[in-house]
A and B are shown apart, each in its own frame.
Chain A
Amino acid sequence: MSPHLSEETRARAVELLGLYPHPRSALIPICHLAQEQDGWLTPEAMAEIAELVGLSPAEVLGTASFYDMLHTEPVGRYLVSVCTNIACMLRGAYELLGHAEEHLGVRSGGTTADGVFTLEEAECLADCGRAPVCQVNHRFFGDLTESSFDSLVDDLRSGRLDDVVPPHGTLVRVRRRGGLRVDDETVAVERARTAKAMAERAAQSGGAS
C-alpha cells in the first residue's frame, strides 16, 4: 500500500514528532498537516497518522472527531466560518449567517453542490474589533455586511483572492519551526499605530466632555 500522505507532509510530520517527548503529542498538529493536504482527514490519512504517532486509527478518529477544526468529512475548497459569538451576534451575525445560507444555497454545516464552499457557524474567532467576522480557510474577513459577504464570495469564486486565501485552510503554526518571530520594524510600526489611535480617542473624549 503506497502512503497516502505526500512525501513533504510526511517529512514535516516526522519533524513535528521530534518536537515532543511523546509521539502522540504531535497528533493534532499532524492532523492539521494532513488536512492541509486534502482539506479534510481522509480515513487513509488517519490510518497513516495512527501509524506515525503509535496510536490506533480509532484513537486518531476519536481525537479528530472531538475538535471542530478537524474535519472527518469532506469540506469544500473554501471553509467559510461565520462567528456567532456575542460581539458578532450583537453586530448582526445571525442575520449575516442567514444571508450566507441563502446566498450559497446551503445550510450551516453544508457544502455547495460544486464543492467550492462549506459554510459553518463558529464560536469566537478572536477578531471582535471587526465584528461581524468570518474566516475563510483561517484567513479573517471583518466588518462584514450582506453585500460585502456577497462580493467576498464572488472574489473567492473568481480566484481574485487566491494569493490571500490558501487552499484547504493552511494553519501557519503547523509549519513554524520555532517560536513566533516578529521583526522589530513591524513591532515599531504597530506600536506607533496603537499610540496614535489611543491619542486620537483621548482627544475626542476630551473634546466631548
Chain B
Amino acid sequence: MADPTVTSHHGIAPRSEPGATVQLTIDGVGVTAPAGQFLIAAAEDAGVFVPRFCYHPRMKPVGMCRMCLVEVSGPRGATLQPACYVPVAEGMEVVTTSEKVRKAQDGVLEFLLVNHPLDCPVCDKGGECPLQDQTLAYGPGESRFVEEKRHWAKPISLSELVLLDRERCIQCGRCVRFAAEIAGEAQIDFLSRGDAVEVNVFEDHAFSSYFSGNTVQICPVGALTAAPYRFTARPWDLDQVESTCTTCAFGCRVAVQSSANRVTRLLGIDTDPVNQSWLCDKGRFAYEAVNSGDRLTEPLLRRSRDGDLEPATWAEALAEVARRLSAVRDAQGPDAIGVIGGARLSNEDAYAWTKLAKGVLGTDNVDAQLGDGLPAELVLGLPRATVDEACRASCVVTLSGDLREELPVLFLRLRGAADAGQTRLVELCHRSGPLSALTAASVVVRPGELAGAVEALVAGPGAAPATLDAGALGAARAALSAAGEGGEGVVVVLGRPSLAEHETVVANAALALAAALPGARFLPALRRGNVMGALEMGMAPGLLPGRVRLEDGGEALAAAWGAVPAARGRDTAGMLRALAAGEMRALVLVGADVLGDFPDRRLAADALGAAELVVAVDTFLSSSSAHADVVLPAAGPHERSGSTTNVESRVTRLGQKLVAPGQSWPDWMVASELAARLGGDLGATSVGELWDEAERLAPSLAGCTRAVLDSDAGRDGVVVPLRRAGVGLPSLRPSRRIDPIATPGIEAVERQGAPPRAGLAERVGGDEAPGAPAGRTAAPPPASVGLPTGFAGPEVAPASPGSLRLVTARRLYDDGALVEASESLTALAGPAVALLHPDELRRAGVAEGGRLRLRSGRGELLVDAVADPGVPPGVVQVPFNLDGGDGSGASALVDAGAAVTDVTVEAP
C-alpha cells in the first residue's frame, strides 16, 4: 500500500506507482480509482456529485469552503472530511448522503449566506450560480442570521475588464489561486481578516493580467463580473454553440453565447489537449469587434481613380473585380496578380481561395503570412509536436517572441508544465520574459547572433559568441543533453523572436537545430488566427493543399482543378516589392492589413500606392482596405461554420452563432462567386462540400472527414495528418466532462437547450465510429513537404558603430483592427515605448521617460524612452503595431530586405 507523503501545503498526496489503483466504496458502491486521486474526483467519476465551491479540477485543492465534507470511515470511526483534499485510499468507505453530511452541508451554506446579499434578481450570476443552485439542493430553507450584513462600495474595478462586488464574495479563493497558481501573477490577494476579508489589488495597481477574465468564469458567485458582460443578459436567455477562438493560432475551445444576434460572452471549455478551460482576455473579450457598429456591411467601390469608396451592390462589385482582374491577367499574365492574407479564413474558406487563386486565376503569388511568420516549407516540413507532447517533453526550447504576448494560452500550458516540473525550459530570446523565472536556462541572444547561439547550443563547449552568457549557455546545454541522445525528447517552440530580423535568419537557425537534434520535434508558434489552416490549404507560394509542393503534386491536382500555376510564386515581401516596382499590377487582400501588419510599412505603402488594382475582402475598413478600389464585406468569427486548424494542426469545428451583418458573405462564397465570373467553377456549394473536396485532395487531411470531426471523438478536434486513416483519434468516449461548478455558465445555458455542438447544421450520418470512409482504402501516409537545406536570405552585416540593433515584437493588445474595434480592450493598448539599456540611454543623452528619435535606413520614429537593464547593450526594443505617439510605429523603421535593422538613437 502506498504510504502517504506530504508533497506540499496543498494537501497530502500518496506517493504511488503510476497506474496503481485502489478499491473503495462510495455510498455503498465499490469503486476503483487511480491512487492519488482526490475523493471528489473519484466520486464524480463514479457518478456521485459532491457539492463544492473552492475546488476546481484544474487547480490544486485547498479545502477552504468546507462544502464538500463527506463521511469517511477510518480507524477513528466515521469522520467528516473534505472530499477535495483527501486522496482515495484502499478500503475507504465514503458516504456522501448521510444525515451527518447533510447537516454539515446545511451548516456550511448557512454560514456562507450570513454575509452574502440576497440580491440574486439583480446579480449577473443569477440563474447560473453555484451558490444559488447548491443552496437550493443542499442548503437550509432559511437563515437564522437577523443581523446587518456587511456592506462594501460596489462594484470596484480591479481592472478595465474585471469588476468586484465584495459583499457577494464567499472567500473560496478561486480567483486568488488562479492568479498565483495558473497565471503566475499574484496581482490579487485576500486582504485583512475575519469579516473584513476582501479580495483586492495592491494600492493603485490594476489586475492587469492577460488572463483576468478567467477569474470571472470560475467565480462561483456573482462577486467577479466582466465589464463587457455585466448587466447585458440573463443566462436563460442565452443560446450557445461550441466553437474555436481564432484570435490567435492556439485554437482555444469556447462556448459562444449570444442573444438577439449579438455575442454576449465567450466561455472557455475544458478541452484537455488545448486550453483546459482557460482563455486569454483578448480572446474572451474581442467579440466586441464582431458586434461592432464599424463592421463593413456592404460592398464598397471606388468608381473613379480619385473618388471615394461608395456603396455598391454585390453584383456590381464582383463584376468590377472580375473585369479588372481579367484585364490584368490578359495583359500581364496571371503572375501580375497576388493574393495576400488567409489567416482570418476558416479552412474551407482558405481552400476556396487557394483554388480560386491557383486553380482559376492561375497565380502562385499567394501568401497567408504577412512577412511576420516563417517560411511555409519550414513550418510544414519540420517534424511536428503537439501541445501535450511539448508539455511532457523533457526539454522545451523556446525560440520565439514572448509567448504571453503572442500565444497566451500556450504560455499558460508551458508555464504550468514547467512549474509542475514536467518539463525543463530553455529560452532563446532577445530579452528575458515571464517564463524566464521557470526556465532551466534563459539565453539572451542579440539580433543577428542567432545562428551563432544555436551553434553554440548544440555543438558542445567551444567557441561561443562572446556576447552570450556562458553560464546560461552551459545550463541550456546541460538541459538539452539531459533530455536524450540526438534531441530525443526535445520540443522546440518555434516562432519569430523579432520582426526586425529576417525570417530566413530564424528559419536557418531552426534548420540547424533540426539537423543537430534529429530526434527533436517542433511546435510552430505562429500567432495569426488560422494561419496553420491556410498553410495546410496551400496559401503559400510553391504549395498546394495538403503540404504538397507545387512541383510534386501539381500534375495530380491539375486533374482535379483543371490547372495549377506553372512555377513558384512570390511571398508577401516579394509581392509587395514586385508591386512597388511595377512588375505586378493587382493585389487581393483577404483579411490582411499590410500597412499595419507587414514589418516594413514603407514597402507596404509603396506597393499599395503603385498597384493598379487593390481588392480587399475584410470585416473592417482597415488602413489598408481604405486604399482598395473594391472592398467586399466578409463574415467574421462566430458568423460562419467550418473548421480551423491550430498550431499543432488540430482541426476543430467552428460554430456559427450569428448571422453576418448586412450583406457580408463568408469568404468562400466570395471566392466561389468570383470564380464563376472569372470563367471558373469552384465546384462546391457549401462549406461541407469544400471540406469533403479538401479531405479528398489534400494528403495531410486524409481520413479527417466531417463524420470524424462531428463525432464525439472529434469534439476536441483531430490532429492531422492522421497517422493512418482512423488511427490516432481519441477513443469514442466523450473526451471531456463539463464540471457544472468549474464552468457554471456553459452548463447552465446548456440546460436550457440543445447541447452546444458545432457543425451540427451540416452533420452527416450519426455518431458513427470514425475511420476510413467507405469505399476508400486507408490513405497513404502524407508526403512531407521536405525540408530545404537552407533558406537564401540577406546576410547579417556587422553593426555600424554607434547604431543599435532593433528588436520589435508583438504585444497582445496592439493597434490591430480587433483590439481597436473592441471597446473594452482599446484602452489597454499602450503607446509604444523604446526599451534600452540604461547605459545606452545615457550615451544618447536622453533622460528616462524622455522622447527619443530612432532613425533607420527606412524611416524614423519618435517614442518615449524607458531604461531597462534587461535589454542588452547595443539593442533597442520597440513593440510592433503600436503608435509611438505621432501616428507611426516600429514598422516605420524595419527594413524587410535586411537580415537585421540597425537604428541610431538621439534626442529629438
- A-to-B contact residues, CB < 8 Å: 43, 46-47, 55-62, 65-67
Contacts and interface: CB of A to CB of B under 8 A. Distances in A.
Interface string B185-223: 111111111000000111101000000000000000000
Contacts of B192: 65-66
A165 to B, nearest CB: 28
A43 B203 contact: yes
A56 B186 contact: yes
A57 B205 contact: yes
Closest 5 CB pairs of A and B: A62-B189, A56-B186, A57-B202, A58-B202, A58-B189
A46 B203 CA distance: 10
Contacts of A55: 186
Given A43-B203, A58-B186, A61-B203, 20 more contacts: A43-B202, A46-B202, A47-B202, A55-B186, A56-B180, A56-B185, A56-B187, A56-B189, A56-B202, A57-B203, A57-B205, A58-B189, A59-B180, A59-B189, A62-B189, A62-B190, A65-B191, A65-B193, A66-B190, A66-B193
B547 to A, nearest CB: 45
B39 to A, nearest CB: 29
Contacts of B193: 65-67
A58 B191 CA distance: 8
Contacts of A67: 193
Nearest to A55: B186
A59 B185 CA distance: 10
Nearest to B186: A56
Nearest to A60: B202
Contacts of B191: 61-62, 65-66
10 contacts: A43-B202, A56-B180, A56-B187, A56-B189, A57-B203, A57-B205, A58-B201, A58-B202, A58-B205, A67-B193
Contacts of A60: 202
Interface residues of B, number: 15
B470 to A, nearest CB: 25
A58 B180 CA distance: 11
Contacts of A58: 186-189, 200-202, 205
A56 B192 CA distance: 16
Contacts of B186: 55-56, 58-59
Nearest to A62: B189
A2 to B, nearest CB: 13
Nearest to A46: B202
Nearest to B184: A56
A194 B192 CA distance: 42
A59 B202 CA distance: 8
Interface in B28-82: none
Contacts of A57: 202-203, 205
Interface in B848-906: none
A56 B179 CA distance: 11
Contacts of A59: 180, 186, 189
A60 B203 CA distance: 11
Contacts of B203: 43, 57, 61
Interface in B258-273: none
Nearest to B207: A58
A65 B198 CA distance: 11
Contacts of A46: 202
A93 to B, nearest CB: 22
User: Which of B185, B190, B202 has the most C-beta atoms of chain A within 10 angstroms of its own C-beta?
Assistant: B202
Contacts of B202: 43, 46-47, 56-58, 60-61
A28 B185 CA distance: 21
B22 to A, nearest CB: 33
Contacts of A56: 180, 185-187, 189, 202
Contacts of B201: 58
A46 B191 CA distance: 14
Contacts of B189: 56, 58-59, 61-62
B215 to A, nearest CB: 13
Contacts of B187: 56, 58
Contacts of A43: 202-203
Interface string B783-808: 00000000000000000000000000
A61 B189 CA distance: 8
B724 to A, nearest CB: 49
B432 to A, nearest CB: 16
A55 B176 CA distance: 13
A55 B185 CA distance: 9
Nearest to A61: B202
Nearest to B189: A62
A50 to B, nearest CB: 8
A62 B364 CA distance: 60
Contacts of A61: 189, 191, 202-203
A56 B193 CA distance: 19
A4 to B, nearest CB: 13
Contacts of B180: 56, 59
A43 to B, nearest CB: 5
> Of A43, A46, A56, which is in contact with the most chain B CB atoms at under 10 Å from its CB?
A56
A141 to B, nearest CB: 27
Contacts of B200: 58
Contacts of B190: 62, 66
Nearest to B190: A62
B205 to A, nearest CB: 7
A62 B202 CA distance: 9
Q: Which of A43, A56, A58 has the most CB of B within 10 A?
A: A58
Interface in B162-197: 180, 185-193
Nearest to A1: B848
B111 to A, nearest CB: 20
Nearest to B188: A58
A46 B205 CA distance: 13
A65 B200 CA distance: 11
B691 to A, nearest CB: 47
A10 B185 CA distance: 25
A128 B201 CA distance: 39
Interface in B705-754: none
A67 B205 CA distance: 22
A43 B205 CA distance: 11
Contacts of B185: 56
A43 B202 CA distance: 8
A56 B176 CA distance: 12
A46 B189 CA distance: 14
